[in-house]
Amino acid sequence: DVKVTQSSRYLVKRTGEKVFLECVQDMDHENMFWYRQDPGLGLRLIYFSYDVKMKEKGDIPEGYSVSREKKERFSLILESASTNQTSMYLCASSLTRGENQPQHFGDGTRLSIL
């Protein structure tokens, strides 16, 4: 079974802090994704990566950046955290380039910015 591990389940930070959310997958998947989940809005794509050091913006990239230095690890960075970034963040991975590939999700990080 694929395992996608997010480093923290709950995180509390202050406005203006630089915040790192870490995600690791153990199945040599090519693609990795970061979504944020808000009530009534479903999941919205922040960034994704299809290879090491490669990244593409999703639908809501403003205020975020990402890093993928190794294939198994994909980090989401909040450069200067703001209260409107309080949300549930979900990491996912999928095997190959094909769009018919299902995504495998971590358990999420619930981030509160005070």
Q: Determine phi and psi for 84, rounding to 5 degrees.
A: -75, 0
CA-to-CA distance for 67 and 42, rounded, in angstroms?
24
Q: Determine phi and psi for 68, rounding to 5 degrees.
A: -135, 90
Q: Which stretch binds other proteins (CB under 8 A): 12-20, 31-39, 60-68, 69-77?
A: 31-39
26 binds other proteins (CB under 8 A): no
22 binds other proteins (CB under 8 A): no
**Cβ contact 93:25 at 8 Å:** yes
45 binds other proteins (CB under 8 A): yes
**Under the rule (CB under 8 A), what is the footprint of other proteins?**
4, 9, 31, 33, 35, 40-45, 48, 50, 58, 90, 92, 94, 97, 99-108
